[in-house]
Amino acid sequence: MSLQKTPPTRVFVELVPWTDRGRDNNLISGGVTQPGLHHPVSSTQAQTATREVHVSGTSEVSAGPDRAQVAVRVSSTKEVAAEAKKSVCRRLDYITQSLQQQGVQAENITVTKDFRRVENAYHMEGEVCITFTEFGKMQNICNFLVEKLDSSVVISPPQFYHTPGSVENLRRQACLVAVENAWRKAQEVCNLVGQTLGKPLLIKEEETKEWEGQIDDHQSSRLSSSLTVQQKIKSATIHAASKVFLTFEVKGKEKKKKHL
């Protein structure tokens, strides 16, 4: 997770409440009024009025892809249909058995077959689609298949992606981190002016946004076929940002009780 540096916070603390806001602004500092106009604010009113601190908070979090998919394709063209089928099915069986021996679960393996006539011959294609959650294991298995199978077998570059649940969790995390940043700011402000931070009165998420990879990395998207595995993971990384606005109650500094 990466946290964006938070911008300067605008803070407003109303330590002495105003009265008669709709009238002319005749109240001056210290709770003293100009002669013949309004009465000064009483101590009872000052104690019962709610004092507030308003803060904003921002955050930026990121998460790499949690899934990758690799396709292994085999094909054969023979004059006899049975020979084309036998050639492809034999290699498909070897691939699926090797995957299971390497610890890949059956639900993460999908096998498809396509058989057709091409001029005076028979052509069969087979594809094994593998979904990985461990990228290190994925690289080891792909290297193993390249070593064991002949050149007629084509292994596609891995395609990285996010499950829907992981994206939703990232959005939620961005909001929570922004709220925590705002709360810390409010607490530091109250400590600075000798007050105690009270309960939250308002929590509002004002802005959210998300993007994939680096915003200014346009060249990488055009040359995705030439990227390394680590570059592809970085390109598929999702970033989420959130901006929140919070209002807290401000309490006076609590006095320590004297022990008898």
Dist CA 34 CA 126 (whole Å): 92
Q: Which residues on adjacent β-strands are paired with residue 246?
A: 55, 203
In terms of average pLDDT, the best of 12-26, 45-59, 70-84 is 70-84
For position 38, what pLDDT does the model report? 46
3-class SS at 40?
coil
3-class SS at 226?
helix
- Per-residue pLDDT of 118-174, as tens digits, reads 888 999 999 999 999 999 999 999 998 888 887 778 999 999 999 988 999 999 999
- Per-residue pLDDT of 164-204, as tens digits, reads 889 999 999 999 999 999 999 999 999 999 999 999 999 99
In this prediction, residues 235-244 reach a mean pLDDT of: 96
Does the structure show a pLDDT above 70 at 89? yes
For position 22, what pLDDT does the model report? 42
Q: Residues 68-89, buried b or exposed e (16+ Cβ, 10 A)?
A: bbbbbebbbebeeeeebbebbb
Which tokens hold the place of 24?
């002319």
State the angle between helix axes of 135-148 and 81-101 in degrees (0 to 180), rounded to the nearest 10: 140
In 3D space, the residue among 237, 245, 259, 158 whose CA is nearest the CA of residue 205 turns out to be 245
Please name the residue that has the structure tokens 């084309």. 84
In terms of average pLDDT, the best of 2-6, 16-20, 101-105 is 101-105
Q: Which residue has the higher pLDDT, 225 or 38?
A: 225
Q: Which residues on adjacent β-strands are paired with residue 243?
A: 58, 207
Which domains are present in the chain? 67-161 (3.30.70.100)
Q: What are the φ/ψ torsions at residue 95 (nearest 5 degrees)? A: -65, -50
Round the average pLDDT of the chain to a whole number and report it.
80
- Per-residue pLDDT of 53-79, as tens digits, reads 999 999 999 999 999 999 999 999 999
